[in-house]
Structure formats: C-alpha cells, structure tokens
C-alpha cells in the first residue's frame, strides 16, 4: 500500500517522531521497532543536523546528543532499515538538506530506498529550490513531502501540494517544533484550506504534544505528527510507549 493510501484510511492516524541516535542508535532501533507495532500510521525518523533551523530546543538538544554520540547518516539509514524490516508501518526520514548533499543526493535516495524507507521530508528545501533533489528522491521510488505553513499564501499551498507525494505536511503553529499550550488559532481553517487544494492526505505537525491537541485534529487532518513530546520521554529515560498509546486513543 502506498504511503498516501495508508494515511487516507479511516480517520485521524498518528505519526510519531524519533531522532535517530538519541540517546543512541540502539535505543532508536529498539523503540522504533516497538512503536511501529502499536497501530501508528507511519514513523518519522530524524537524521541529526548541527544547525536545525526549524526545530525548537527539545529536538535541537536531541540532535546534538545524537551527534555527540557519533551518529552518522549511514548509521541512521541502517536503523531505518531495521525498523522498516518490521513491515508494520512505513518509515519517513526527516533531515536538513546539507547532510543529504554531503552524502550525495543520488546515493542517499538509493540507500534510503534499499533500506525500505517510504518517504523523505527536508524542511529547508522549499518548492522553488526542490527540482533536482525531489527528482532524485522520487526517481528512487520514494515519496517527497513538502511543508505548508500558516504564512503560506494559496499559490504556495498549491505548489507544495502539487510537488508533494505521500502527503502534505501542514505546520500548525507559526514557529518551530516543540510543545505549545495552543495550536494556531485557526488551525481548522488552515487545514481546510490545505485540503481544498489537494487530494493527498494532510498531516498536521509542529507544536502538537498532548492527547487533547490530537483530538482537536479529528476530522480536520489525516494524521497528527508528534515529535518533541516523544523525544522528551526519551530524554527523561522513559519508554514513550504509554504516551503513544494515549495519543493513539485520542485519534479515535
């Protein structure tokens, strides 16, 4: 089943995020394998980058810890392969453009495809800069996911939706990743606008940390992406399983 078809299935689904290598790759592998078997729609796996502009303090720190522990892009792809091998939920990679360029876009796309990865999100590549890299990634059979933000005018939403495959990533706060007490005041209007421009599933992310916020997205989005809240659990040395189960029940 394609990523798009999977996310279009019944109601709101959940995409948790893990930073590969935080606190180490073995933990990411172990936690990732467990999470994909809990009923989540897909898992997002971050490849750490030294200068993550779109990320708030929690994911920044997690990425820095991963890098300090010696995490490499190669190591992240190996863990992605191990999680994908469970064949329980698709793996989506999220990283910034410079690590991809340094690895070599063609090699990255090929190795990710071989690892069984379903799609790639690169938040610092907007649509107008994406031609070469998106072509390389889709040529390897992977989905490319673009982001739309509360500040995006209609024509940019159309462009991002047209360029995306798999799903469209709708940023639900004006800002960076990390917990917020409140989502964008007109999050429903924003999601409705994005849905009016595309048949692809629409996933909502950034700032979503609680079951209450997830439940607000029911019927308005196809998936909720939760990152910092899960990374926080790992930071505290806790198994993120219970939080994920709570978020999953909020989807229903």
Partner 1 sequence: MTEHNGSDDRTGHEHDSHDPDERGYFGEFGGRFIPEALIPALEELSAEYDKARLDPDFVNELLRLLSDYAGRPSLLTEAPRFARHAGGAQIWLKREDLNHTGSHKINNVLGQALLTKRMGKKRVIAETGAGQHGVATATACALLDLDCVIYMGEVDTERQALNVARMRLLGAEVVPVKTGSRTLKDAINEALRDWVTNVETTHYLLGTAAASHPFPLMVRNFHRIIGIEARRQMLAKAGRLPDAVAACVGGGSNAIGIFHGFIDDKDVRLVGYEPAGHGIESGEHGATLSEGSPGLLHGSRSYLLQDEDGQITEAYSISAGLDYPGVGPEHSYLKDSGRAEYYSVTDDEAMEAFQLLSRTEGIIPAIESSHALAGAIRLGKELGPDGVILVSLSGRGDKDMDTAAKFFGLVGEDA
Q: Using omega within 30 degrees of 0 as the cis cutoff, is the peptide bond preceding 59 cis?
A: no
Six token digits for residue 4? 């798009």
Q: Say whether residue 175 binds partner 1 (CB under 8 A).
A: yes
d(CA 18, CA 232): 10
From candidates 109, 125, 142, 229, binder to partner 1 by CB under 8 A: 125
From candidates 72, 138, 162, 198, binder to partner 1 by CB under 8 A: 72
Q: Are strands 91-94 and 43-46 parallel, antiparallel or unpaired?
A: parallel
Q: Say whether residue 132 binds partner 1 (CB under 8 A).
A: no
From candidates 9, 37, 98, 196, binder to partner 1 by CB under 8 A: 98
Q: Nearest-CA neighbor of 46 among 75, 26, 21, 81?
A: 21
What Rg, from alpha-carbon coordinates, does the chain have? 16
From candidates 15, 147, 191, 217, binder to partner 1 by CB under 8 A: 147
Task: Using alpha carbons only, give the angle 147, 153, 154 rounded to the nearest 5 degrees.
Answer: 90
Q: Say whether residue 17 binds partner 1 (CB under 8 A).
A: no
**Under rule CB under 8 A, which residues in 26-45 are in contact with partner 1?**
none
Q: Is 44 a catalytic residue?
A: yes
Binding site for partner 1 (CB under 8 A): 49-51, 53-54, 56-57, 60, 64, 67, 72-73, 96-103, 123-126, 128-129, 146-153, 156, 160, 171, 174-176
């Amino acid at each position: 089943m394609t990523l798009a078809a999977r996310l279009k299935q019944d109601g709101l689904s959940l995409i948790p995020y893990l930073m590969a290598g935080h606190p180490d790759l073995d933990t990411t592998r172990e936690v990732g394998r467990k999470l994909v078997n809990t009923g989540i729609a897909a898992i997002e796996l971050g490849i750490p980058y030294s200068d993550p502009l779109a990320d708030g303090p929690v994911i920044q720190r997690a990425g820095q810890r991963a890098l300090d522990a010696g995490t490499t892009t190669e190591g992240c792809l190996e863990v992605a392969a191990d999680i994908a091998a469970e064949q329980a939920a698709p793996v989506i990679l999220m990283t910034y453009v410079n690590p991809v360029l340094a690895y070599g876009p063609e090699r990255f796309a090929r190795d990710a495809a071989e690892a069984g990865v379903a799609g790639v999100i690169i938040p610092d590549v907007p649509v107008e800069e994406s031609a070469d890299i998106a072509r390389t990634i889709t040529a390897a059979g992977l989905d490319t996911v673009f982001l739309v933000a509360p500040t995006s005018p209609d024509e940019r939403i159309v462009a991002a939706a047209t360029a995306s495959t798999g799903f469209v990533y709708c940023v639900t706060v004006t800002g960076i990743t990390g917990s917020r007490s409140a989502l964008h005041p007109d999050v429903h209007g924003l999601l409705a606008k994005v849905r009016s421009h595309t048949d692809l599933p629409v996933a909502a992310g950034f700032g979503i940390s609680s079951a209450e916020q997830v439940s607000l997205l029911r019927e308005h989005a196809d998936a909720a992406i939760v990152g910092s809240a899960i990374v926080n659990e790992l930071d505290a040395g806790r198994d993120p399983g219970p939080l994920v189960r709570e978020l999953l029940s909020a989807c229903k």
